[in-house]
Structure 1
Amino acid sequence: MSQTVDRAVRSLLFIADGPRSVRDVAQHLDVHPTTALRILQTLHSWRLVDKRADGDYRLGATILDLGQRALESLDLRDVAAPFMQKLGDATNETVHLAILENQNVVYIDKVDSRRPVRMYSRVGIVAPLHCTGVAKAILAFVPPAQQRRLVESTDLHAFTPHTLTTPESLLADLAAARERGYAIDDEEHELGIRCVSAPILYADGNVAGSVSVSVSTARINYEKLLAFVGPLLDAAHGISRELGHRRR
């Protein structure tokens, strides 16, 4: 590996955590300040770093542009596929991937359980916003104003006796989901089907989609379903990490 390139990359990663002085970078790289200055001047010439009025350096506009281009080149299905497969292998249950598209949550990928389970979901169809795990995981993590707008524009139709059919009950459920980090569909859309779902986040914290595990109540009780939350969150965090999100 080129020592110069290595030092430049290490400098960028160091500055990504906050503005740094020439001396800070020199100490981090264990080099003389003049060497650190030459590296920073080169990075500055490419607008990979900017120099602040106090002399410290921060990430520059070119980094932001590259990051945006990287995100635009990613296909969520491709990024999520290995994590979904691992989650399916770990649980031996059906795994879904969904996104918010305009005012609808749409299933965009699915890993089927090796056990035959009849359920509504299939790739390309819309998931009801108020009673499916994939939709509630997304709704729970969108900005509050958008969340309320989506809830108020949704027909809170009762698919089963367990469906939440008032804005107040749904908003309370979404707040609980956000607090614990995952959503639950407890036979709210289909009798005999339960689901846990977690959000997938972009680098800026906005919601990219959600991933879920769906089970038959005939085989998996509520307590066993919750045992799948760990692998589910591992998958959601892994996909989010690939999209540039850093957990805080």
Structure 2
Amino acid sequence: MSKTSSMGRGMMAIIAVGERHAEGHDGGTVAEVAARLEKDRSQVSRSLKGALQEGFLARSGDRAYRLDWSFLTDAQLVTEQRLRTDGLTALEGLATETNEACFLGVLSGNSTVTIAEHVPANADLVGSWLGRPYPAYCSDAGQALLWDAPDDEIRRIFQNVDFVRHGPNTPASVDEFVGRLEEARTRGYSIVDEEAEPGLYSLSAPIRDFKGEVAAALQIVGPKSRLEPLRESHALALNSWRDWLEARVGGTASDPTAAS
């Protein structure tokens, strides 16, 4: 019990230091953190020293505690590793439920790149997409990867991009892309309907990391004739495995296998 409460106090102290950074301060002294938390200085001092020893905080000559940003780098590396390991588990589970090809993609400039895939034998897709870039404005993962991006950032990403037609429904402009993204946000997942190529249909959802930022997109891809009639059930499976994978990289906990 005491260990748990001690850990909780330590996390509160770290968060308080982070809040001071967010307000423009260069960390905080014991007195400043104690005042923010309205806690006893000696208790806060012990919490800050513990966080210092664990590598979450650094201390400067003026006795102020600051976040040690190196731990964020370590956490980012763990996220990337889990996307490639637990991501395969999510892809296999999603492909088993839907019997369609499933992919995990990331954003690279104005393109998307597949970092993991699971393609059932009957998926009717030839070749591998691993490591292959595709224009984000019409790719299966593009909308999901730009899910949280403000309009001005999206326009900046596509400012030098020609919206070349890849399928009958490829967006013709950034305005059209933004409009479809707004619809996807309302729906809760994206639908890319013959935008990447004729006859191809996909569903996709964003995967957020421990910082709350979109780190990847989980996708179901297949022939429109087969996938569109099952869109609602496939969307449930997609969101379930999205939640599971997010839990592995820092998001909310959810296990789609728990009900089985």
> Normalising by structure 2, what TM-score?
0.72
Structure 2 residues not aligned, in runs of 5+? 17-35, 58-64, 254-260
Which of 67, 71, 78 is matched with 1:73 structurally?
78
Residue in structure 1 matched with residue 116 of structure 2 by the alignment: 109
Structure 1 counterpart of 2:75, which letter?
A: A
Matched, 1:240 2:246: yes
The alpha-carbon distance between structure 1 residues 83 and 21, as it changes in their structure 2 partners (threshold 3 A), is farther
Alignment of 1:57-206 (within 5 A): 61-62=67-68, 65-74=70-79, 75=81, 76-118=83-125, 122-206=129-213
Instruction: State the Cα distance separating 1:47 from its structure 2 match.
Output: 3.9
Query: 2: CA distance between counterparts of 1:242 and 1:178?
Result: 23
Instruction: State the Cα distance separating 1:120 from its structure 2 match.
Output: 7.2
| SS of alignment partner, residue 45 of structure 2 | helix
Matched, 1:9 2:7: yes
1:158-205, Cα deviation, whole Å (9 max, x unpaired):
112222212221121112223333211111112222100011112333
Instruction: State the Cα distance separating 1:39 from its structure 2 match.
Output: 5.8
Which of 219, 222, 233 is matched with 2:226 structurally?
219
Instruction: State the Cα distance separating 1:236 from its structure 2 match.
Output: 2.1
The alpha-carbon distance between structure 1 residues 178 and 185, as it changes in their structure 2 partners (threshold 3 A), is same
Instruction: State the Cα distance separating 1:89 from its structure 2 match.
Output: 1.6
Identity of aligned residues (%): 21
Aligned residue pairs total 222
1:135-171, Cα deviation, whole Å (9 max, x unpaired):
2211233243221112333221111222221222112
Q: CA RMSD in A?
A: 3.0
> Normalising by structure 1, what TM-score?
0.75
Structure 2 counterpart of 1:239, which letter?
A: L
Query: 2: CA distance between counterparts of 1:120 and 1:180?
Result: 31
Matched, 1:229 2:227: no
Do the aligned residues in 1 keep the contact of 2:14 with 2:51 (CA within 8 Å)? no
Do the aligned residues in 2 keep the contact of 1:47 with 1:61 (CA within 8 Å)? no
1:92-115, Cα deviation, whole Å (9 max, x unpaired):
211101111233211111011241
The alpha-carbon distance between structure 1 residues 163 and 234, as it changes in their structure 2 partners (threshold 3 A), is same
Residue in structure 2 matched with residue 34 of structure 1 by the alignment: none
Do the aligned residues in 2 keep the contact of 1:71 with 1:243 (CA within 8 Å)? no
Do the aligned residues in 2 keep the contact of 1:215 with 1:225 (CA within 8 Å)? no
Query: 1: CA distance between counterparts of 2:13 and 2:220?
Result: 39
